Structure 1
Amino acid sequence: MGGTVAKVNISLDAELVVEAMVLAGIGSPQDAIEAVVRDYIARGHRTEARTELKDQQLRELDVKPQEPQG
């Protein structure tokens, strides 16, 4: 990664941060929240990819000629 990344400062409830730190197994509040957010985004991208694949498979089924029934 090149260049400077813009940073944002936010305030969070301390209990949320401590819980994120414990669940992530990370002792730094900054690192723990960053890891949680990155994981959330990655999961979203994986879900989008699975949904797109399923939609594509369904479209392919709709396009295939139907076998005569009877």
Structure 2
Amino acid sequence: MAKVNISLDAELVVEVMVLAGVGSPQDAVEAVVRDYIARGHRTEARTELTEQSLREVEATPQEPQG
């Protein structure tokens, strides 16, 4: 996998390290990025299920009213 080098504010990285309980700046930032991606995938999955169930409800023929 390709690697990317970036510069971040030291205070930001230290705070991430403390919150993540990780001793390495590289590992801490990587953990945050992986968590962000996983959260996005979970949101997509939930949204897809909701949209699918709404489509099924709309597709069900309704009984005549009145």
TM bucket by the smaller chain? over 0.9
Q: Within the alignment, does 1:40 sit opposite 2:36 as a pair?
A: yes
Which residue in the other structure is 1:18 paired with?
Answer: 14
Give the TM-score, by structure 2 length: 0.94
Instruction: Determine which of 46, 49, 54 is the counterpart of 1:50.
Output: 46
Give the TM-score, by structure 1 length: 0.89
Gaps of 5+ in 1: none
Return the alpha-carbon distance in structure 1 between the equivalents of residues 64 and 31 of structure 2.
Answer: 54
Deviation at 1:69, TM superposition (A): 3.0
Runs of 4+ more than 4 Å apart: none
C-alpha root-mean-square deviation of aligned residues, in Å? 0.8
Deviation at 1:54, TM superposition (A): 0.2
Return the alpha-carbon distance in structure 1 between the equivalents of residues 54 and 29 of structure 2.
Answer: 37
The number of equivalent residue pairs is 66
Deviations 1:12-67 (A, max 9, x none): 01111011101100010000000000000000000001001100000000000112
